[in-house]
Amino acid sequence: MKAHDGFYIDGAWRPAVGRDTIDVVNPADEQVIGRVPAGTALDVDTAVRAARAALTGWAATPPAERAARLTALRDALAARKDEIAETVTAELGSPLAFSQAVHASVPIAVAASYAELAATHAFEEKVGNSTVLHEPIGVVGAITPWNYPLHQIVAKVAPALAAGCTVVLKPAEDTPLTAQLFAEAVHEAGVPAGVFNLVTGLGPVAGQALVEHPGVDLVSFTGSTAVGRQIAATAAAAIKKVALELGGKSANVILPSADLAKAVNVGVANVMSNSGQTCSAWTRMLVHRDQYDEALELAAAAAAKYGERIGPVVSARQRERVRGYIDKGVAEGARLVAGGTESPREQGYFVSPTVFADVTPEMTIAQEEIFGPVLSILRYEDEDDALRIANGTVYGLAGAVWAGDESEAVAFARRMETGQVDINGGRFNPLAPFGGYKQSGVGRELGTHGLAEYLQTKSLQF
């Protein structure tokens, strides 16, 4: 795979200060496919200075011109769609068809949505005798995870650029090649030097330096709740704004009136796609006791179909974490109806599609995020019981409700403590605000709500 040996700073690829590098590994065959530099605090400082220097000019650039650059970025990503899909498959391991349909395609739609929003958003409003200006918040430090490597980047960089902010990005160490491709696309799009900068590196080194840097005005982070908590604490000391997209443990609530087979099949597919590495995955399926045995049979059959098709998880460490949770599930009394800890293949970081029955709400596997292809099926007595279980974790990122009647599902969804709910299998909407209740995060991404995270107001009184 193509890899740059420098950082994209101030409009060009520049050599790293230090000599440390990161090996990029293909999780499907455990081979090293590339090597990128690991940034130090000095590299981060150079990038932040470039972003600060570019801020005044970009913030003053008319929104229509910012929109034109975002349209060009959308086009540059679209022109590289195949290369992006192949790169994501090589460094994340997702099957090529999924990389094309989701990893490469969704970011194009999100970039397009922000090209349009930049052109149409009201960056000024009248409130009584005031004119309220919506101004860019400044320099953004963006830190992203590996699970949707390009989507997570575009969901931050596109709204930041639309708002008139400048950006320093520290992508996940496991998927830096996709981030480098993104930087190439930004360059091709004619975005002025310094507006977007990329420093690859390790979280506790380059990531931490970015969070601590006094030249950063907003830290936008997507990743684990543990790291998010640490970042929020560091940022708080400098009264720096944070946007946090964190973990999830979403409930898929199947009400008795639902089409059970459809709800179970879509539910299993949702958890197994991307090898279970989706923050909003419906990892807890809640089924009424009268339908429980039938749901188990359907789920085990659906999971078995994924045995051949599922990709690996991202790394050996991630596979060990997931196996640890499967062991814990068994130890705490849950019953395996599909999968388990045994590797389905000799080579690669594969985990079998796994389904647990007899999971109770207080078990570790029902409380903690697993981030692998592991589904827990829980039994409920009545609707109030289902709601207690659905809301009974520290997380609140997403969820699903199935019912014979849409309004019945909506009534239940209104009582859920979560930022997104799919009704009877509703489709992903790149304009709908995405983000968490409770410990799943602070702030929202996508659409106008995502744009607002990068703006601050100034009120002029007349």
Residue 247 contacts ligand NAP per CB under 6 A: yes
Residue 388 CB, nearest approach to ligand NAP (Å)? 23
Find the binder of ligand NAP among 93, 138, 149, 207 (CB under 6 A): 207
Residue 394 contacts ligand NAP per CB under 6 A: no
CA distances from 350 to 46, 173, 312 (A): 39, 20, 4
User: Token pair 């640890």 is at which residue?
Assistant: 324
- Strands 241-245 and 218-222, how do they pair? parallel
Find the binder of ligand NAP among 223, 361, 372, 396 (CB under 6 A): 223
Strand, coil or helix: what is 187? helix
Residue 216 CB, nearest approach to ligand NAP (Å)? 12
Interacting residues with ligand NAP between 354 and 393 (CB under 6 A): 369, 371
Contact between residue 250 and residue 282 where contact means Cβ atoms under 8 Å apart: yes
- Indicate which residue of 173, 212, 245, 369 is catalytic: 245
Residue 443 contacts ligand NAP per CB under 6 A: no
The DSSP element (H or E) to which 230 belongs, if any, is: helix 225-237
User: Token pair 């200075």 is at which residue?
Assistant: 49
Interacting residues with ligand NAP between 145 and 174 (CB under 6 A): 145-147, 170, 172-174
The DSSP element (H or E) to which 88 belongs, if any, is: helix 81-92
Residue 283 contacts ligand NAP per CB under 6 A: no
Residue 151 CB, nearest approach to ligand NAP (Å)? 9
The DSSP secondary structure of 306-321, one letter per residue, reads: TTTT----S-HHHHHH
Look up 245 and say whether it is catalytic.
yes
Give the nearer residue to ligand NAP in terms of CB position, either 141 or 164.
141
Which range, of 25-33, 117-125, 142-150, 179-187, touches ligand NAP by CB under 6 A?
142-150
Contact between residue 282 and residue 399 where contact means Cβ atoms under 8 Å apart: yes
Q: Which tokens is 100 given?
A: 């094309």
Interacting residues with ligand NAP between 173 and 192 (CB under 6 A): 173-174
Give the nearer residue to ligand NAP in terms of CB position, either 226 or 261.
226
- Residue 275's CB is within 10 A of a number of other CB atoms, namely 30
Helix, strand, coil tally for the chain in percent (to 5): 45, 20, 35
Give the nearer residue to ligand NAP in terms of CB position, either 147 or 180.
147
Contact between residue 274 and residue 98 where contact means Cβ atoms under 8 Å apart: yes
Task: List residues with catalytic annotation.
Answer: 245
Q: Site residues (CB under 6 A) for ligand NAP? A: 143-147, 170, 172-174, 202-204, 207-208, 211, 222-224, 227, 230-231, 245-248, 279, 369, 371, 397, 436, 441
